Structure 1
Amino acid sequence: MSQAPGTPTISVVICTYAEERWDLLMGALDSVRVQSLPPQQTIVVVDYNMNLYKRLIFTVPDVVIVENNGPKGLSGARNSGAAVANAKVVAFLDDDAAAAPDWLERIVALYDDPDVLAVGGRVEPHWAAGRPAYFARELDWIVGCSYRGLPKVAAEVRNVIGANMSFRAEVLDRVGGFNPSLGRQDTVPLGCEETELCIRAVMGAPGCRVVYEPAALVNHHVPAERGTLRYMLTRSWAEGISKAQVSRVVGHKRALGPERRYVRQVLPRAVFAGIRDWTRGNDPAGLSRAGIIIVVLASTAAGYLRGRRLPARPAAPETNPDPKDELWREVQ
């Protein structure tokens, strides 16, 4: 597809850190290569893994390969990718996600409105071993995907989802990029760096907005171990801690506005639906789904309360996590 005059150019950034994810990364790159609206450039950022960096340099000639030159972790890697992007819009795709062919076309269309600062899309889980019957769709945020309760049509939201998001390059420059004291480091499941960035972006540009476009789709690989109750509790605990860290930066009300509606409206409906399905004999797993929703909510709330009591993380953490870092140890 040829790009229409006036359509903003777009760079795609994919961050990666482990050779074990090679096949998934190649799938992500293949999905970008067949976009109906080709990106101006595709950038792969390697997060402190020299062997992976060298392998990419020698085997993937059509992509810009760079190393993370900031603090170790996803936030530092994303900032390193954005720094070399030369398009008007910077899109981020996870290394274990595959974009639909019209992904970029759908995203760019929303930037016709100058008040749109960021656009995110729908993230559908692709379960390696099938969705566990007890894993409610309302909890898909645990595996980095869109969950039941999000808008079904394009709408203003507080924040985008990290696996499928984009920002105007000028916005990333203005707010200073992702906060390196937040976000995942290797397999440590902290997060919310995109939430905090979106809030800062809107605070600095009153009247502007962040948009969720469910038609802009990516499929996100979910390994079997992420469907276990152990992972669900670990991830929800870490989410609570992450939300507490965000609230330190942007304030309690800004950090938790959508979560209040989610807890008051979306989750009770899901619990009652699970119990109803079980009592009617329609779904034997309904009761376990309802129970796990309650347990996950309790774990998230406990993580948040614990996070409020932890010391704030430094603005620029060391390259490697410090085992004495109390926050880092909380999610091990």
Structure 2
Amino acid sequence: MRNTVLIPTYRRPQDLSRCLLALQAQTKPVHQVIVVVRDTDAETWQFLAEFPEHNLPLHTVTVTQPGVVAALNAGLTAVTGDILSVTDDDAAPHPDWLERITAHLVADSCIGGVGGRDWIYHGDKLEADSQAVVGKLQWFGRVIGNHHLGVGETREVDVLKGVNMSFRTQAIGQLRFDERMRGTGAQVHFEMAFTLAIKRAGWKIIYDPQVAVDHYPAQRFDEDQRNNFNEIALINLVHNETLVLLEHLPPLRRAVFWFWALLVGTQDSLGLVQWLRLLPSQGQLAGQKLLASWRGRWQAHRQFVISYPVNQTE
């Protein structure tokens, strides 16, 4: 099976260099590497013009719109492999990454998606904790990630992480990344929409901690600055998460989700209980996060109502 690797990138040429060098070192040679670059990203274009490709089958795609969704959809149009593997420009796949991905897809024709662990480095410090539960959507709508901490055997999951996810191109078919995802860069939860759609189509999604990449979270050039609060970024995050879940959950579970989301929530998408928990330590900031979370929920509800008749006819 031929492997295509798709890398969206923006203004991080040093990180991209590390990623491409890791692909050159794969034990299973890559068939095609697609790097999607913004038309205005002069520093990345300069880097690619000087990069020593050697035997790396590098193909560039230009995108004019901001955001990872537009970049990935532009890259999808150029895919020629039987397997599509997506990673970030600030990640470096382990040498056996493509070999392990291919082995899973060859062994079981029902598998549509394969994900694995991203070992996160903050400078020289590695996040080396471990979690057994990874990539699961609980019945009431809470999503458990933990992809960067997964241990144990290969198992079925519901959601993969964008830095380390691969798909059988047959399973993708005409599916595209959801352009309703908000944000001008990271567009958090875009991968949840994609993987849940593939799972709904009847394909198995698996997670294998041995399918690994090293992840060096780099600077973002949008409103989402990771751990720093930004009202717009939080509204976008909650909107994206809520919209995906409203479309995935059946009506009864959708109602339970609304009750849980507004009353409890998570530390990223606050409900009343999470607000009370954070209030002693964060004070007014906790209130800002709660209001932003509720705005994101409401805006997703409105988007869902607009989209729902279309979804029912598909």
Calculate the TM-score normalised by the size of structure 1: 0.66
The 1:136–1:298 alpha-carbon spacing in structure 2 relative to 1, beyond 3 Å, is farther
> How far did residue 50 of structure 1 move?
4.6
1:107 equivalenced with 2:131 (yes/no) = no
> How far did residue 305 of structure 1 move?
3.2
Aligned pair partner of 1:41 in 27, 32, 52:
32
Is residue 42–residue 64 contact of structure 1 (8 Å, CA) maintained in 2? yes
The 1:215–1:67 alpha-carbon spacing in structure 2 relative to 1, beyond 3 Å, is same
Gapped regions of structure 2 (runs ≥ 5): 136-144, 268-277, 308-314
What percent identity do the matched residue pairs reach?
22
1:180 equivalenced with 2:179 (yes/no) = yes
Q: Distance in 1 between matches of 2:19 and 2:42?
A: 20
- Count of residue correspondences: 265
1:247 equivalenced with 2:252 (yes/no) = no
The 1:13–1:116 alpha-carbon spacing in structure 2 relative to 1, beyond 3 Å, is same
1:58 equivalenced with 2:49 (yes/no) = yes
* Amino acid across the alignment from 2:18: G
Is residue 145–residue 161 contact of structure 1 (8 Å, CA) maintained in 2? no
> How far did residue 306 of structure 1 move?
2.5
- Name segments (4+ residues, structure 1) moved above 3 Å: 129-132, 135-138, 223-229, 231-239, 251-254, 295-305
* Amino acid across the alignment from 2:190: E
Partner deviation per Cα, 1:223-276 (whole Å, 9 max, x = no partner):
59999853599876653332112124333748x99xx9xxx9x99xxxxxxxxx
Aligned pair partner of 1:128 in 111, 123, 128:
123
> How far did residue 59 of structure 1 move?
1.7
1:309 equivalenced with 2:298 (yes/no) = yes
Aligned to 2:10: 17
Q: Distance in 1 between matches of 2:16 and 2:122?
A: 17
1:85 equivalenced with 2:74 (yes/no) = no
> How far did residue 300 of structure 1 move?
7.8
Q: Distance in 1 between matches of 2:26 and 2:228?
A: 37
Q: Distance in 1 between matches of 2:290 and 2:28?
A: 42
1:222 equivalenced with 2:217 (yes/no) = yes
> How far did residue 66 of structure 1 move?
1.3
Calculate the TM-score normalised by the size of structure 2: 0.69
The 1:103–1:51 alpha-carbon spacing in structure 2 relative to 1, beyond 3 Å, is same
SS class of match (1:312):
helix
Q: Distance in 1 between matches of 2:96 and 2:19?
A: 14
The 1:232–1:34 alpha-carbon spacing in structure 2 relative to 1, beyond 3 Å, is farther
> How far did residue 107 of structure 1 move?
1.1
* Amino acid across the alignment from 1:307: G
What is the root-mean-square deviation in Å for CA atoms of aligned residues? Answer: 4.2
> How far did residue 307 of structure 1 move?
1.8
Q: Distance in 2 between matches of 1:53 and 1:37?
A: 27
Q: Distance in 2 between matches of 1:300 and 1:109?
A: 44
The 1:29–1:231 alpha-carbon spacing in structure 2 relative to 1, beyond 3 Å, is farther
Q: Distance in 2 between matches of 1:37 and 1:16?
A: 23
> How far did residue 146 of structure 1 move?
2.5
The 1:203–1:10 alpha-carbon spacing in structure 2 relative to 1, beyond 3 Å, is same
1:165 equivalenced with 2:165 (yes/no) = yes
Gapped regions of structure 1 (runs ≥ 5): 1-7, 268-287, 316-332
Partner deviation per Cα, 1:12-61 (whole Å, 9 max, x = no partner):
1111011xx11110000000000011110111111342524632452234
Is residue 122–residue 217 contact of structure 2 (8 Å, CA) maintained in 1? yes
SS class of match (2:296):
helix
> How far did residue 145 of structure 1 move?
6.9
Aligned to 1:203: 200
Is residue 118–residue 211 contact of structure 1 (8 Å, CA) maintained in 2? yes
* Amino acid across the alignment from 1:25: L
Is residue 237–residue 296 contact of structure 2 (8 Å, CA) maintained in 1? no
Aligned to 2:272: none
> How far did residue 64 of structure 1 move?
0.8
Alignment of 1:222-301 (within 5 A): 222-223=217-218, 230-231=228-229, 238-251=236-249, 253=253
> How far did residue 80 of structure 1 move?
1.6
Q: Distance in 1 between matches of 2:33 and 2:292?
A: 37
